Structure 1
């Protein structure tokens, strides 16, 4: 009887039977959809079987000795001091077992780190609490944010099946091509983890870590930030859509064209004056999705952690409009305030600052236009 067959028959160890099964299980590693993830799974199962076999032998010998050499049977303890042969044996056997485990483990680890000859390179940048993806050699880049609504998080709406594992812009990759990831961070340590790819790499500020994958079949694959990166750590999911090469190429062309169109439209905004109602509606939407996690929906912030915007000097003082714009666009060193200039368009930036200066009773009447945002971005005087 093989170990796999033995495990499946152990009524007192149902978890072992689950491990031995080829069917997907929440109690075991996923086999994944890449060659590397399959190698990792097989290595894991091999080591597991070795450990189980060692446990069976050791505990079997121990319990056999307890039963057959118990005092009630008249057993008398042997009187001996040492045995060189036994000491050599119990040193040599574990050494050989460890060598036998280290060889396949080293082979898999070397394969996991082999990022040579990639066909596609994607830069992955983590920040609190979102991911930014940039495709090398393609005019495509975007931020990927949690798509589960605040109403779902607060229990006001029914949570969907993929609650907290949904994003507004998933990463799209082709199947059958080697993809290299350059992983870094803008603020604190994050970790980009997709179990189906057997990829888990820390995103460290100021450093670039490399990883790679080659996906075998199309599908939607989910992951999360696996590093405790702040209070909204649980709201930083990863979604990857794997497409056939032809569909991926079409997606790249469509996305690059759409982003180029957005840039052209933003140039036209410089000569336009948007009205208050339009800016407030868009500003509320942007604020709730990007700012409310720290400054709260009511603008009161978290005392001692994140400053309030309601009735704050920077949001109501007419002489501090430039300061307000600069903080939103460029961020603020030494704080958790990110630079939203690279993340939002001119219209969105104008709208969110207008909203912050007129919501929660601030009522300054200030209407920020795209031209003002562009001036701050370029370091020009307003």
Structure 2
């Protein structure tokens, strides 16, 4: 053996297991019984085709080597063999049937959503997810977290490789209980999306006007991440999914807290904040909801998303009400934030946009004005 080859083999044998894990190309086993059954079926199929490949290529290379012309071997004159043809038809057929039976059984099991204890409806938006806990009368919106949004800006000067869970983190993760059968419905509000968390073992298209469903029993507590896997526009890569699986007691506490927070948001129309408070809160809302399209400097993206800095909408007094209404009800591909944000949050982000990036209008929008805009529009 050549010295260089010996060195390469020695280096490979000394590689740490962690380095080898970075090159893992196999399926992940996941955190549900379904995902583990899929993994087992995958491994069974992989080993079967591996053995078939070794046998077929082994026979082929052996035949090429032992029947080469340089040895004086003369080619056979027969054209076919009925026995061989019957054998190589029956054996593959038997293998396919032996794999089709467990695969079909698993597919039927994957679609059986009966006896679910919790139903979660996931609705895709450009570009975030809305989650309705149908048994709890609870709704949350889950969007890309502020840190990932900021790092993704062209002029941020930040390194995505140094950001933990870059583009895989959200502001409001969904919380689900472990060891509980959960039915997950998927649909969309605008274009086709797809809801996919690899550790659950499946994905489903989210199609406007249709509802698809599947189920999961998460066996291990932990955080599981996924993404939209249907190209849905400019922000397709910016709508991750984060599932926080917890024990049932912790889940019930979270639901109670979220309901209390949701109720508190309904009663913000009488809040009066100072300019500083509105600007601080507005900047937080802007980074979470608007930054990806309109950019950190308010300049937008030419040809796609209009600038807010210096725009008539955000600077002219006559367009103040229109500014508020556009945030509440949306326009074009801009989603309606009226359902997602409270009166005080809309007031804060409107105030921020009318006073940031040199707009300096001095306008202060209070929650009561937002509440009145909602009622007048209706």
What TM-score, normalized by structure 1, do the two folds share? 0.86
Which of 338, 359, 362 is matched with 2:359 structurally? Answer: 362
Instruction: Tell me, yes or no, if structure 1 residue 278 matches structure 2 residue 277.
Output: yes
1:156 matched residue in structure 2:
158
In 2: Cα distance, 1:285 partner to 1:245 partner: 32
Alignment of 1:27-66 (within 5 A): 27-66=25-64
Residue 341 of structure 2 corresponds to residue 341 of structure 1 = no
Q: Deviations for 1:342-371, whole angstroms, at most 9, x for unmatched residues?
A: 111111101111222222233333322212
Q: How far off its partner does 1:190 sit?
A: 1.9
For the residues of structure 2 that align with 1:160 and 1:178, how far apart are their CA atoms? 34
Correspondence for 2:196 among 190, 193, 197:
193
Q: 359, 371, 375: which is aligned to 1:374?
A: 371
1:79-228 equivalent positions in 2, closer than 5 A = 79-147=77-145, 149=147, 150-153=149-152, 154-156=156-158, 159-228=162-231
Segments of 5+ residues of structure 2 without an aligned counterpart are 1-8, 13-20
Aligned length: 355
Cα deviation for residue 36 of structure 1 reads 0.5
Shift of 1:151: 4.6
Shift of 1:298: 1.7
Residue 298 of structure 1 corresponds to which residue in structure 2? 297
Residue 4 of structure 2 corresponds to which residue in structure 1?
none
TM-score calculated relative to the size of structure 2: 0.87
**How far 1:373 sits from its partner (Å)?**
1.3
Contact (CA 8 Å) 1:124, 1:132: kept in 2 or not?
A: yes
Residue 25 of structure 1 and its aligned partner are, at CA, apart by: 7.6
Structure with the bigger RCO (C-alpha within 8 Å, sep 6+) is: 2
**Deviations along 1:127-168, whole A, 9 cap, x unmatched?**
222222111121322112222514544453783433332222
Tell me which moved more, 240-249 or 224-233. 224-233
Following superposition, the deviation at residue 178 of structure 1 comes to 0.5
Aligned mate of 2:237, from 216, 234, 237: 234
Residues 1:178 and 1:24: Cα distance change in structure 2 (over 3 Å): farther
Contact 2:146/2:287 (CA < 8 Å) preserved in 1?
Answer: no
Instruction: Please state whether the residue corresponding to 2:132 is helix, strand or coil.
Output: strand
Gaps of 5+ in 1: 1-10, 15-22
Q: CA deviation at 1:176?
A: 1.2
Instruction: Describe the SS at the equivalent of 1:37.
Output: helix
CA contact (8 A) 2:177 2:218 kept: yes
Query: Which residue number in structure 1 is paired with residue 15 of structure 2?
Result: none
Q: Secondary structure at the match of 1:378?
A: helix
Paired position in structure 2 for 1:248: 251
Do structure 1's residue 352 and structure 2's residue 352 form an aligned pair? no
Q: Is the 8 A contact 1:124 1:183 kept in 2?
A: yes
SS of equivalent residue, structure 2 residue 303: coil
State the Cα distance separating 1:295 from its structure 2 match: 1.2
Deviation at 1:71, TM superposition (A): 0.8
Contact 1:331 1:338 (C-alpha < 8 Å) held by counterparts:
yes
* CA gap 1:211/1:248 in 2 versus in 1, 3 angstroms: same
